[in-house]
Amino acid sequence: MTTASCMIPRQRPWVEWPRFGRAISVDFVTSAETAVDFPEGAVVYANYQRYGVEEYYLYDPDEHELEGWLRSNGELCEITEMNGWRSPRLGIRFALEGNTLVIYRPDGERFLTYVELAEETQRAQKRAETAEAERERLREQIRALGANPKA
């Protein structure tokens, strides 16, 4: 059971992804963002209440600060310890490792970063190009032997 204290989350640009008929909100703070304007924060909180957001996570990479809220008794309540927290809805785990937020999948594998995904995509594309070149080389060898490689 999580010890929680209810409060209105700070206002930030937000996105909701419906999942299993409920919404989970994840906010990423940029260094250009500044102090909270309470009326805007109240509007965001009202939207969270209206749409039934069950979980709300906020990460500020500049401050290396991770916050989270979980719906309890109809209210979003602050999660007191986010490092190592596992989302009850998604099954993902949040970890603050060094100066980095690391998110683990439900199977325990770490989600790749954007850079890692881009690198993996480049490696996969290179493997595909290499395989295509090898296939064409083998076709040329078959043609040189007088056979039709497509037959």
Q: State CA 30 to chain mean position distance.
A: 16
Chain-centroid distance, C-alpha 52: 20
Amino acid (1-letter code) at residue 46: A
Q: Tell me how crowded residue 45 is: count the other CB atoms within 10 A of its CB.
A: 20
Asked if 7 contacts 36 with a C-beta cutoff of 8 angstroms, the reply is no
Reported as a single tens digit per residue, the pLDDT across 20-42 is 455 555 655 544 443 343 344 55
> 151: pLDDT confidence band, cut at 50, 70 and 90?
low
pTM: 0.61
- Residue 104 CB contacts under 8 Å (≥ 6 apart), including other chains: 92, 93, 95, 110, 111
* Residue 29 near residue 62 (C-beta atoms within 8 A): yes
- Mean residue pLDDT of the chain comes to 76
Per-residue pLDDT band for 135 (boundaries 50, 70, 90) equals very high
